[in-house]
């Protein structure tokens, strides 16, 4: 599946999950904004970047940047708190949508751990996927 189609499907799944929670979702016209949708929970509005998660060693991994190809080759650009408020991540493998505030992220990529890590892996920096399930963020 081409990347554009995959992104469109991810956005559709996320939009449906957010609407099932009773949230209002607006999609900007065109694709010149750094966010994919605006989510209104009745009190606040959030600029949301949608991401497709990939399954890697018991965790859902997603990129914290966008990639474009220009005359100088591929350019990766991190998202900032001035541009978005949260990532909404869809995992096909888990059939789940996750809500990750940008304040909880760093740069490069993030992993949401589903399965227990290797026994010798450090546990201090684990982001447990269950804590980011979208249904837990909006009650």
What domains, with CATH codes, occur in the chain?
3-137 (3.40.1350.10)
* Token representation of residue 101: 């505030």
**pLDDT tens-digit readout, 60-118:** 999 999 988 888 889 999 999 999 999 999 999 999 999 999 999 999 999 999 998 87
Residues in the chain: 139
Res 117: pLDDT: 84
Res 125 pLDDT > 90: no
Q: Which residues pair with 28 in a beta bridge?
A: none
Place of tokens 């890697």: 56
14: exposed, middle or buried (C-beta count within 10 Å: 0-12, 13-18, 19+)? Answer: buried
Q: Is the pTM of this model over 0.75?
A: yes
């Amino acid at each position: 599946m081409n990347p554009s189609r995959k992104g469109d499907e991810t956005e559709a799944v996320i939009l449906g999950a957010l609407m099932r929670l009773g949230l209002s979702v607006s999609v900007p016209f065109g694709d010149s904004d750094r966010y994919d949708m605006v989510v209104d929970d009745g009190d606040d509005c959030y600029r949301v970047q949608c991401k497709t998660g990939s399954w890697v060693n018991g965790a859902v991994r997603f990129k914290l940047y966008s990639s474009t190809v220009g005359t100088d080759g591929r350019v990766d650009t991190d998202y900032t708190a001035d541009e978005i408020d949260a990532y909404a991540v869809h995992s096909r493998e888990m059939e789940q949508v996750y809500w990750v505030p940008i304040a909880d992220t760093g740069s490069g990529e993030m992993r949401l751990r589903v399965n227990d890590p290797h026994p010798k892996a450090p546990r201090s920096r684990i982001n447990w996927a269950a804590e980011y399930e979208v249904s837990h963020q909006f009650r």
